[in-house]
Amino acid sequence: MKIEVLEKVPEKISGVFFVVSEDSYEKDVKAFSAAEKKQILGVMESEIFTGRKGESLALTGLNKDGKAFFVVGSGKKEEGGLLRNAAGVAASVAKKSKFADFAIVLPTGEDPALAISGAVLGNYNFKIGDTSEDFLVKKCVIVSGKKFSKDAVEKEVSLAESTNFVRDLVNTPPSLMNPDILAEEAKKLEKISKKVKVKILGEKDMGKLKMGSLLGVGQGSDIESKLIVLEYMGGKKGDDVEALVGKGVCFDSGGYNVKPTGHIEDMKSDMGGAATVLGAFRFLAETSPEKNVVGVIGAVENMVSGNAYKPGDVITAMNGKTIEVTNTDAEGRLVLADALYYTATKFKPAVIFDFATLTGACIAALGTEISGVMGNDKKAMDRVKKAADVSGEGVWELPITDLFREKTKGTISDLQNWTAGVSAGSSMGGAFLEHFVEETPWVHFDIAGTAYQGKYGNEFTPKGATGVMMRTIRELLK
Ligand code: BES
Ligand code: ZN
Ligand code: ZN
């Protein structure tokens, strides 16, 4: 969608959405005409519309020149970030009404950034087939008195569109999104910028590197497992390198510990971490910051077949550690084990952030709005918490303690990937991964609950893939 930031509502436009906040609606927004002001004050005073978050109302008295007028609520000022919600509501009303274009009129002095973000994120659909409706709005005008550079608009649009790209990858059915296709999607990013280089390692290459852990998970699939390695070198040679690592399980059947009905349906989303890494690289490629970032994705399918790994198998990871597969459904940590160790030893990054739909336990602990974070370094963790504070995406630190570390030890092997009777599943996942990062400062993001919303969305996120953590990554890499 094309975005423009203007000072006035254009003459020709299908829908105009006035953003009104709940607590202190303005009586004198410059962009409003006298008739508009009268109408808006009228509904506000009658309390038909109060400016609450998520609220929208068509103003029938104003419709003229083919324009439809609406008010959308942005909630209370101190709740912050709500302009994104209001713009998201405006975009989804415009989308449902099949408007060719729409304008969002911001309260005076409000920064257009949040509105741009909400508008692009709200104007999202994922539909397959000729019979499915797939209408998107082509253009959005943000009406704001506040100066905003063209460059800043472009960056904001790129971030939101990269988030929609993540959503597309995750929403795609598993027959159309496998390790091969994920690798192709990564390769395509090279076309955006010369600063992006993508290398794909196949099973033979990974065999040479002795990645028995990742390969063990993928061996039951007819599709070859891949290690996708991305480099964005926008900084100087010799500058610090920062790493993003993603879990790319393109379908998680659970393996022989097969997932039951009720748990298996959304498992195309188990490559949400990998998609996030690709989204971040799309954003880097488009916005060209002076940074050096590498990305590593372990892309596999966790399937059941005559060749699949079995509960009781012992596999050997790239770092030489032996792992008993006590549960084939705890496959994400096995994939990440080799991806993390490869990242730590090949690139010697200053920090690693990994993104993974790792544990159902994280959903039980933190629900669908807050991602679990854990790690081995206070400075890196503080950086994550600060970034998430700015982005407005919820994170909550979960502990990795010596007790959890102890419980990752195996009986016939160095480690086991699952330990019966320990219910702190997310922390156990974190404690397992810690064995593979060497001394690298590292934060693990468990996005199992937040990457995919099977039941409901929010003002700017339709049901399905969310693209969560893209905004936090932007802050992290600033
Ligand atoms: N992919 C799942 C985690 C998951 C669950 C993601 C629900 C999104 C929604 C992961 O591979 C898994 O199956 N984890 C198991 C681990 C257990 C066997 C230790 C879990 O959480 O139940
Ligand atoms: Zn699993
Ligand atoms: Zn999984």
pLDDT tens-digit series, residues 351-398: 999 999 999 999 999 999 999 999 999 999 999 999 999 999 999 999
Quickly tell me which residue has 């040679």 as its tokens: 237
Question: What pLDDT is recorded for position 28?
Answer: 57
Q: Is the CB of 449 under 6 A from ligand 1?
A: no
User: Closest Cα to atom 13, ligand 1: which residue?
Assistant: 329
Atom of ligand 1 nearest to the CA of 417: 19
DSSP SS3 for 149: coil
User: Is residue 97 within 6 Å of ligand 1 at its C-beta?
Assistant: no
Atom 14 (ligand 1): residue with closest C-alpha?
359
Residue with the smallest CA separation from ligand 1 atom 6 is 448
H helices present in 132-259, as ranges: 150-171, 179-188, 203-208, 212-218
Q: Whose CA is nearest to atom 19 of ligand 1?
A: 330
What is the Å distance from ligand 2's center to 24 Cα?
48
CA dihedral 125, 389, 332, 316 (to 10 degrees): 150
Cα(332) to ligand 2 centroid in Å equals: 6
Name the closest ligand to CA 452. Answer: 1
Give the position, in ligand 1's atom list, of the atom nearest the Cα of 418.
19
Query: What are phi and psi for residue 371, nearest 5 degrees?
Result: -90, 145
- 71 — phi, psi (to 5°)? -110, 140
Average pLDDT over residues 136-162: 93
Q: Which residue has the higher pLDDT, 41 or 451?
A: 451
Say if ligand 1 is within 6 A of residue 441 CB: no
Residue 29 pLDDT level (bands cut at 50, 70, 90)? low
Name the closest-CA residue to atom 7, ligand 1. Answer: 360
Q: Long-range pairs for 50-55 at CB < 8 Å and ≥24 separation?
A: 50/22, 51/20, 51/21, 51/22, 51/23, 51/25, 51/75, 52/22, 53/22, 53/79, 53/82, 53/85, 53/86, 53/459, 54/85, 54/89, 54/459, 55/89
Q: Which two tokens stand for residue 340?
A: 């993390």
3-class SS of residue 4: strand
Residue 142, pLDDT above cutoff 80: yes
Each residue's pLDDT tens digit, 199-214? 999 999 999 999 999 9
Distance 248 CA to ligand 1 centre (A): 13
Closest listed residue to residue 356, CA positions, set 214, 476, 474, 246: 246
Res. 46 pLDDT band, cuts 50 70 90 = confident
- Pocket flag, ligand 1, residue 327 (CB < 6 Å): yes
Cα–ligand 2 centroid distance for 417 (angstroms):
11
Average pLDDT over residues 146-169: 94
Work out which ligand 1 atom sits closest to the CA atom of 451. 8
| Sheet arrangement for strand 2-6 | 2-6, 139-143, 101-105, 15-20, 68-73, 56-58
Looking at residue 26, what is its pLDDT? Answer: 63
Three-class secondary structure assignment of 381-431: HHHHHHHHHHHCCEEEECCCCHHHHHHCECCCCCEECCCCCCCCHHHHHHH
pLDDT, one tens digit per residue, over 77-128 is: 766 668 999 999 999 999 999 999 999 998 877 889 999 999 999 999 999 8
Length of the chain: 478
Q: State how far the Cα of 317 lies from the Cα of 391, in Å rounded to an integer.
A: 36
Computed from CA positions of residues 342, 348, 406, 299, in that sequence, does the dihedral angle turn out positive or negative?
negative
- Choose between 52 and 333: higher pLDDT: 333
**Tokens at residue 275, please?**
């998609």
Taking the mean position of all CA atoms in its chain, how far away is CA 134? 22
Ligand 1 pocket, residue 427 CB under 6 Å: no
Could you report the per-residue pLDDT of 325-335, keeping only the tens digit for each? Answer: 999 999 999 99
Buried b (16+ CB within 10 A) or exposed e, 117-137: bbbbbbbbbbeeeeeeeeeeb
Instruction: Quickly count: other Cβ atoms within 10 Å of residue 305's Cβ.
Output: 13
Nearest ligand to the CA of 253 is: 2
CA dihedral sign, ordered 106, 111, 113, 117: negative
Tell me which of 44-58, 151-165, 175-189, 464-478 is least confident. Answer: 44-58
CA of 301 to the centre of ligand 2 (A): 10
CA distances from 247 to 19, 301, 433 (A): 39, 11, 12
Distance, in Å, from the CA atom of 106 to the CA atom of 86, rounded to the nearest integer, reads: 10
Among all bound ligands, the one having the nearest atom to the CA of 359 is: 1
Residues with active-site annotation: 259, 333
| 331 in contact with ligand 1, CB cutoff 6 A | yes
Q: Check whether 144 has a pLDDT greater than 60.
A: yes
- What is the CA(368)–ligand 1 centre distance, in A? 14
Q: Please say whether the beta carbons of 95 and 123 come within 8 A.
A: yes
